[in-house]
Structure 1
Amino acid sequence: MYKRLVVFLLLFAPLSIAAKPLTYLVIAQQAEPFQIVHSQTDAIEYSGIITDIVNHLAKHYLKQQLRTEHAPFLRYIRSMNEKQMQPWISYGSPVWAQHQAVAIQNTHLVATPLFTVHHQLLTRSADPFHYQRIDDLFGETVILLKGYSYPGLQQYIDSGQIKAFAVNSHQSALNALLNNRGKGFVSMGIRSHYTIERYGFNKRLFAFNDFSDTIKPNNIHISHNEKMPQRLINQLNHGIINMHQEHKIAEIISRYTVASSPAPRL
């Protein structure tokens, strides 16, 4: 009888483990179009570049149910610390791991990157100010998102050479820029273009300046905590490689890329 019980447990234990949902953590408001939260009257729906990639990976490579949770950025980071004993995934970048406050989001990354992002400095097109290099901003105020890491720029803010005005969302940042609360808004290219289109801003009111001399282009990866089973990490990496080979990630990105000439850089 004892041997039969052991065999039964060995046979069905893997199934019970696989049946446990994997938690996918989403940032509310600040992460569009990477992660988008749609508040419906009777349900919450999720979309976005990262979310669509994660759903594809879960369905075709992990074959595991996802439990999606969303929260404002600071609570999102706090949730990562609280869930240390259970596996979760989200997204991150190696360069953000240098910022202690968000290190947990970016310390453990799946090896193969999803894509590369570039930063821009948005300014008012009617402003005679013209950005060429970082010292053009000395003595000025830049608009940033609360809680986010800006490697390459942060040193100038810490030294007091550049002032920072932090807001909660991209929409608030664009409104602040138009209301002259700062000389420019620092944002990833695809995010600024998406927000302008999504919320009906007049694109001609903005000038788009390449900011990669200060914030270098960086790779975005799937992130996870240290409790993630190696089996799932390997499956995620295998799936990402296949999605690149099949141009699936490029196809997903194109859903959220605003048609313009030239096409906005990520």
Structure 2
Amino acid sequence: MHILKLSLLVLLLMPIKTYALTKINYMVIQDQAQPFQNHQNKKHHNGIITDIVKEIFPASDYDLTIHTLPFNRMIKTLEQGKLENWITFGSPNWPGVQSLNLSQLPVFNVQHSLLTAKQHEFDIKSAQDLFGKTVILLHGFDYPGLEEHISNKDINAIKVKSYSSAFKVVNRLKDKAGFVEMTVRINYNLKEQKLAPDDYNLLNFSSVIADYNLHLAMAPDMDAKIENHINEQLKKMQSSGKLKEIIDAY
């Protein structure tokens, strides 16, 4: 009996081996990336990219730390290189840190549209068709195919900080301006703000900004095991239909 008690005491005193969860820093753009990254006051995160990231890094195995920052501050934080094992989304078509280290598989194909007031429709076959007109753009983002003409003042630009502001400017300026944005973002935010799509024209803008793929973007020095895990999980999600299921939910 004494031997049994002694054995139990030894077991209780033995150090318990614990395993720290691998920390992943997930970077979210504040208020401008719906439906890819949605949140309510920096809480209750979901969205296409967020749901994909959560699927790849379950809470049982990873410490997924979410950082919600304004776009420019997020980019500055990533460029400083002090944050380890970060992940967000990006594209080979984008400049800077969001294009340096991308997932092998794309997660979304992006098309752009020009949103105009219903009673006025632009005929857009090239950027030249916008000369002398005004485009509404989200502050802080790059627009390949437009930037050069805006710099040359061939096209006027109004920068806004939110989708609600963009829709208000479209309604106010009528035939004088159109809102350029990813088609999926326009449709999502019209629905979120309970605006009727039939009140607007949604014109294909691929002749100015070519379609391109979005990928998961990772730290240039991402841990190799984590990077391999990301790529393997994306392959599984694509083959199982989970990737399409997440996209279709938005």
TM-score (norm 1): 0.82
Query: What is the RMSD computed on CA atoms of the aligned residues?
Result: 2.0
Alignment partner, residue 129 of structure 2: 136
Alignment partner, residue 74 of structure 2: 76
Alignment partner, residue 43 of structure 2: 44
Please give the alpha-carbon distance, in whole angstroms, between the structure 2 residues aligned to 1:37 and 1:189: 20
What are structure 1's unaligned runs of at least 5 residues?
Answer: 1-11, 98-102, 257-266
Alignment partner, residue 88 of structure 1: 86
> Map of 1:174-189 to 2, 5 A cutoff?
174-180=167-173, 183-189=177-183
Q: Any idea what the Cα deviations from partners look like across 1:193-235, whole Å, max 9, x if unmatched?
A: 0010000112122101111111111110110112210111111
Tell me by how many angstroms 1:128 deviates: 5.2
Moved over 4 A (4+): none
Please give the alpha-carbon distance, in whole angstroms, between the structure 2 residues aligned to 1:203 and 1:156: 29
Bigger mean CA offset, 24-33 vs 225-234:
225-234
> Map of 1:189-200 to 2, 5 A cutoff?
189-200=183-194
- The one of 1, 20, 23 aligned to 1:21: 23
Q: Secondary structure at the match of 2:145?
A: coil
1:244/1:198 CA distance change after superposition, 3 Å: same
Tell me by how many angstroms 1:105 deviates: 2.1
Is the 1:85–1:227 contact (alpha carbons within 8 Å) kept by the matching residues of 2? no
Q: Secondary structure at the match of 1:208?
A: strand
Is the 1:122–1:206 contact (alpha carbons within 8 Å) kept by the matching residues of 2? yes
Q: Secondary structure at the match of 1:241?
A: helix
- The one of 223, 230, 240 aligned to 1:236: 230
Alignment partner, residue 116 of structure 1: 109
Confirm whether residue 35 of structure 1 aligns to residue 3 of structure 2: no
1:239/1:139 CA distance change after superposition, 3 Å: same
Please give the alpha-carbon distance, in whole angstroms, between the structure 2 residues aligned to 1:59 and 1:146: 33
Please give the alpha-carbon distance, in whole angstroms, between the structure 1 residues aligned to 2:30 and 2:83: 23
Bigger mean CA offset, 145-154 vs 29-38:
145-154
Tell me by how many angstroms 1:129 deviates: 4.0
Q: Any idea what the Cα deviations from partners look like across 1:210-264, whole Å, max 9, x if unmatched?
A: 11111111110110112210111111011111111111111111111xxxxxxxx
Please give the alpha-carbon distance, in whole angstroms, between the structure 1 residues aligned to 2:123 and 2:83: 50
Is the 2:107–2:243 contact (alpha carbons within 8 Å) kept by the matching residues of 1? yes
1:54/1:136 CA distance change after superposition, 3 Å: same
Is the 1:89–1:222 contact (alpha carbons within 8 Å) kept by the matching residues of 2? yes
Q: Percent identity?
A: 33
- The one of 62, 65, 73 aligned to 1:64: 62
Confirm whether residue 253 of structure 1 aligns to residue 211 of structure 2: no
Please give the alpha-carbon distance, in whole angstroms, between the structure 2 residues aligned to 1:194 and 1:85: 31
Tell me by how many angstroms 1:164 deviates: 1.1
Q: Any idea what the Cα deviations from partners look like across 1:15-37, whole Å, max 9, x if unmatched?
A: 44xx2421100011110000001
1:226/1:176 CA distance change after superposition, 3 Å: same
Please give the alpha-carbon distance, in whole angstroms, between the structure 1 residues aligned to 2:93 and 2:156: 22
Bigger radius of gyration: 2
Q: Secondary structure at the match of 2:186?
A: helix
Q: Any idea what the Cα deviations from partners look like across 1:112-143, whole Å, max 9, x if unmatched?
A: 11121100111111125443432221011100
Please give the alpha-carbon distance, in whole angstroms, between the structure 1 residues aligned to 2:185 and 2:114: 12
The alignment covers a number of residue pairs equal to 233
